[in-house]
């Protein structure tokens, strides 16, 4: 039953992706950070190309895209996340606002996901 639901979700996303919705590049994005240990939740506003720190994480927004003519629509954010004192990156890729689990950062303590793009 769970496998069928997952397959249906993936098929639906693949069908939607194949339509290749036209997007616009935004000037920035709002991401949300969660510290799973303390329950601390913070909204992080970033301009494209900038970096912010959330506890031990350094979060860099490479780009945010949204549907043409619909800035409140589904956001796609290119993000790179590293952790202080740890080599390499914790996450590098695109996060999708409407499906945060599809491309999620896997970390024992922290969670980060995209909320929306910003246009000004």
pLDDT in tens, 34-51: 999 999 999 999 999 999
SS3 40: coil
What are the tens digits of pLDDT across the range 2-34?
A: 555 544 444 455 444 445 779 999 999 999 999
Query: What is the residue-averaged pLDDT of the chain?
Result: 86
pLDDT recorded at residue 69: 84
Helix, strand, coil % in the chain, rounded to nearest 5: 15, 45, 40
**Inter-residue contact 101 to 66 (CB < 8 Å):** no
Rounded (10°) CA dihedral 3, 102, 9, 11: -100
């Amino acid at each position: 039953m769970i496998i069928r639901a997952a397959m249906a979700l993936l098929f639906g996303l693949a069908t939607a992706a194949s339509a290749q919705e036209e997007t616009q590049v935004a000037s920035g994005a709002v991401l949300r950070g969660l510290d799973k240990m303390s329950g601390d939740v913070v909204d992080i506003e970033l301009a494209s190309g900038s970096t912010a720190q959330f506890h031990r994480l350094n979060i860099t927004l490479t780009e945010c895209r949204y549907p043409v003519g619909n800035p409140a629509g589904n956001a796609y954010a290119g993000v790179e996340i590293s952790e202080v004192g740890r080599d390499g990156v914790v996450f590098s890729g695109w996060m999708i606002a409407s499906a945060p689990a599809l491309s999620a950062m896997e970390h024992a303590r922290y969670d980060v996901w995209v909320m929306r793009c910003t246009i000004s």
